[in-house]
Structure 1
Amino acid sequence: MKKLYLLLLSLVVLMIALTGCGKDKDSAKDNSEPITLRYSTMQNKDHISYQVALNIKQAVEEKTEGRVLIDIYPANQLGDWSQVYDELMMGSIDMAHSSVPETYDARTAVGYFPYLSSSYDQLAEIFAEGTTLDNMMKEIQAKNGIEFCGFFVEGIAGIGTTKEVSNPNTLDSKNTVIRTAAMDCYILPCEYMGFDTTSIASSDTFAALQTGVVEGLAGSTPAGAYLNYRDIIDYYYVYQMSPEVTQIMISEKTLAKLSPEDQKTIVDICRQECANSVNYAKEEDEKYLKLMEDNGIKIVRFSDEEIEMFAEAVRTNVWPNLAKTYGEDFINELLKLYK
Structure 2
Amino acid sequence: MPDTIISSGADSRIDTAGLAISYADVAGAAERIAGVAHRTPMLTSRTADTLTGGELLFKCENFQRTGAFKIRGAYNAVSRFTPLQRALGVVAYSSGNHAQALALAASMLRVRSTIVMPQDAPAAKLAATRGYGADVVLYDRYAEPPDAAVARVLEERGGVLIPPFDHPHVMAGQGTVAKELIEEVLAGGGAPLDLLVVPTGGGGLLSGCVVAAKTLNPGCRVIGVEPEAGNDAQQSLRSGEIVRIDAPKTIADGAQSRAVGQLTFPVIQRLVDDIDTVTDEQLVDAMRFFASRMKMLVEPTGCLAAAAVLSGKIDVRGKRVGIVVTGGNVDLSRFSALVQAG
Aligning the two structures, in what range does the TM-score lie when normalised by the shorter sequence? under 0.3
TM-score under structure 2 length normalisation: 0.24
Identify the structure with the greater strand proportion: 1
TM-score under structure 1 length normalisation: 0.24
